[in-house]
Amino acid sequence: VELIKLAESAVDDLEDKDYAKAIYEKSEGMLESGDDLMKLAASLMSKLNDKDMALTVYQTAETKYSDYANYVKLAQAVFKDTGDADFAGSVYIKAAGATKDSKQLVAVAAALADDIDDKPSAFDQLKQAELSVKTVDDFKNTADAIIKYADDQQWIDAVNDQLEKREAHPDLYKDFV
């Protein structure tokens, strides 16, 4: 983290972007936590606007994570800072693979559909979410997302039918789910 400050100072105070880039490169090899690597990539973007180098650092950060929350945080940062939808999408898919929670899967599906514009992957996550439903509220949340994003009318009709039945007989489905 001190090296990040030094690199930022090289840009701000010395106005030497080449020296700063050398410091950033050295920093990447020394940082071990995903969070520190994400800070490095964000600093790279703010000070040097070097998307390629930031993307490389984000890819290194990805190897440090294995949980849903960190993958989502990384995917959001990658997309915001570099605009690389392919890499951000692959990280969102890793986030989905790290959870069985239907609400989290729906959140990933929404990000894939809305931000990344990868509807096929979003549909895959919605199918997983539908299989992961644990409560009537989970089903409602998942059904709303399926109705919003899906383009398969048969699937939408089936989900609407299930939703109507679950809303009409909540006590029955509470025990069933």
- The per-residue pLDDT string of the chain (177 residues; one tens digit each, 9 = 90 and over) reads 788 999 999 999 888 999 999 999 999 999 999 999 999 999 999 999 999 999 999 999 999 999 999 999 999 999 999 999 999 999 999 999 999 999 999 999 999 999 999 999 999 999 999 999 988 889 999 999 999 999 999 999 999 999 888 888 877 766 665
Report which of 146, 126, 138, 141 is spatially closest to residue 173, judged by C-alpha positions: 138
Taking the C-alpha atoms of residue 5 and residue 42, their distance in angstroms, rounded to an integer, is: 12
Please, what is the Cα angle at 167 between 164 and 168, to 5 degrees? Answer: 85
Query: Nearest 10 degrees: CA dihedral of 93, 95, 96, 102?
Result: -150
What's the pLDDT score for residue 79? 98
Taking the C-alpha atoms of residue 78 and residue 128, their distance in angstroms, rounded to an integer, is: 24
**At residue 128, what are phi and psi to the nearest 5 degrees?**
-65, -40
What's the pLDDT score for residue 45? 96
What's the pLDDT score for residue 87? 98
Burial code of 28-49, b = ≥16 C-beta within 10 A, e = fewer? beebeebebbbbbbbbbbebbe
What's the pLDDT score for residue 20? 93
What's the pLDDT score for residue 56? 96
Residue indicated by tokens 């939808």: 85
What's the pLDDT score for residue 155? 95
Report which of 121, 61, 58 is spatially closest to residue 89, judged by C-alpha positions: 121
At 29, the amino acid letter reads G
- Helix ranges (DSSP H) in 13-135: 17-30, 34-47, 51-62, 68-82, 85-97, 102-111, 119-131
What's the pLDDT score for residue 166? 81
**CA contacts within 13 A on the Cβ side of 82:** 26
Q: What is the pTM of this model?
A: 0.91
What's the pLDDT score for residue 71? 98
